[in-house]
Structure 1
Amino acid sequence: MRSDAQKNYDHLFEVGREVVAEQGADASMREVARRAGVGIGTLYRHFPSREALLDALLRKSFDQLTAKAGELEKVASTGNALVLWLREMVTLTHSHRGVISAMTVAIAEPDSALHASCVSMRASGSHLLARAQAQGEARLDIDGEDLFALVSALAWLNDQPLFASRVDRLFQLIASAILVQPAD
């Protein structure tokens, strides 16, 4: 890609991230183009659909979350690494309001542009869980599917005005239910 085209792409990507953070997964492509100061055709040359923009945003976030799991393995206890990663995952879903359905579809659909990143991201969480379980720091009756389902539930709750204020408390409850408490 030419440097000017890359610059345009990067600018549209950042503006798209802002608009999606504000408006959620149904963000207006016209609003992205307006805020970026470009015509709608320019936006569509880089991102042919809202789904393409969302795919690009989520793929980058998922790849960063996968990398974060590797970093956490090196600096935190197995239980803490798992909880810190879960917190990052919940934060990701909160910053991309309404994307949980795209994530669940992508994991189940190998032809999705997001499939590989979603599977890799979920595998990194499963790996952190397995490490914590091997060290006796996490329950043995939970797997990666359960982790993903719990994060999905928290993401959905965060999108519901009635429950959004309780998400942090619920996260703490879930984290304490996953981790094994040392016997007194």
Structure 2
Amino acid sequence: MAGPSTEIVRKPRADAVRNRERVLEAAKAVFSAGGSEASLEAVARQAGVGIGTLYRHFPTREALFEAVYRREVEQLGDLAEQLQCAPEPVEALRRWMRANVEFVATKKGMISALALVAHGSTELHAYSFDRLTKAIGTLLARAVAAGEIRGDISAEDVLRALIGMCYMHDQPGWQATALRLLDVFVDGLRLRPAGKPPAAKPARKKAARKPAR
């Protein structure tokens, strides 16, 4: 008596997996740079694959956008896990936030290069915000527990502040501005050691009074 039919799920071939990863890495580099050269053809050239190979993995521009976007979010989540063992909690938090600025640059470049006026996937936005909030939450909680960061700010607050810094403007050089603001923001979250007074302002020199005649 014949048993129930079973569907055999074939794993992707190793070369197909490598090609897909090369395309995703190339797309990140090409779209981050932006400009008129940021096309799907440029991605294929950068990855060293034919345009047909690219389309087999990513049949639409939106599919490529989502794949790169999800990959970047997952890598930020993995980075947060790695940084939990870093010796300095505040610097671990700062390093993760700086990596997020690079992620936003990739996202901005893709939207511009692929002519995506607005990526309307509510599920994708919800997924990324939840994943990134959890990632930054672990690093923030560690810095608070170490007594180095104030405890009256949430992971959502920090992430929204970071997003605001990155989207203040789209002029050339925006990343340098965002990174500078990020450093000011993180330093502002630091706690002073107990009993340590604020730094004294230098005393002004009094002007010499002329002797009365």
Which one of 48, 51, 59 corresponds to residue 48 of structure 1? 59
Is the alpha carbon distance of 1:90 and 1:122 closer, same or farther for their aligned partners in structure 2, counting shifts above 3 Å?
A: same
Taking the TM superposition and a 5 Å limit, the aligned residue runs for 1:4-19 are: 4-19=15-30
Q: Verify: 1:135 aligned to 2:135, yes or no.
A: no
Which one of 39, 50, 64 corresponds to residue 38 of structure 1? 50
Structure 2: distance between partners of 1:19 and 1:100: 9
* Structure with greater helix percent: 1
CA contact (8 A) 1:157 1:164 kept: no
Fraction of identical pairs, as percent: 32
Query: What residue is the counterpart of 1:98 in the other structure?
Result: 108
Which one of 81, 90, 95 corresponds to residue 84 of structure 1? 95
**Long gaps (5+) in structure 1:** none
- Tell me whether 122-131 or 164-173 shows the greater mean CA deviation: 164-173
Q: Verify: 1:121 aligned to 2:121, yes or no.
A: no
CA contact (8 A) 1:122 1:144 kept: yes
List structure 1 runs of 4+ shifted beyond 6 angstroms. Answer: 99-102
TM-score of the superposition, structure 2-length normalised?
0.67
Query: What residue is the counterpart of 2:78 in the other structure?
Result: 67
TM-score of the superposition, structure 1-length normalised?
0.76
- For the residue of structure 2 that corresponds to 1:74, the secondary structure is coil
Give the letter aligned to residue 27 of structure 2. Answer: G
Q: Deviations over 1:112-134 (max 9, x none)?
A: 2x644542232010121122223
RMSD of aligned residue pairs (Cα, Å): 3.2
Is the alpha carbon distance of 1:48 and 1:72 closer, same or farther for their aligned partners in structure 2, counting shifts above 3 Å?
A: same
When Rg is computed on C-alpha atoms for both structures, the one with the higher figure is 2
Is the alpha carbon distance of 1:2 and 1:115 closer, same or farther for their aligned partners in structure 2, counting shifts above 3 Å?
A: farther
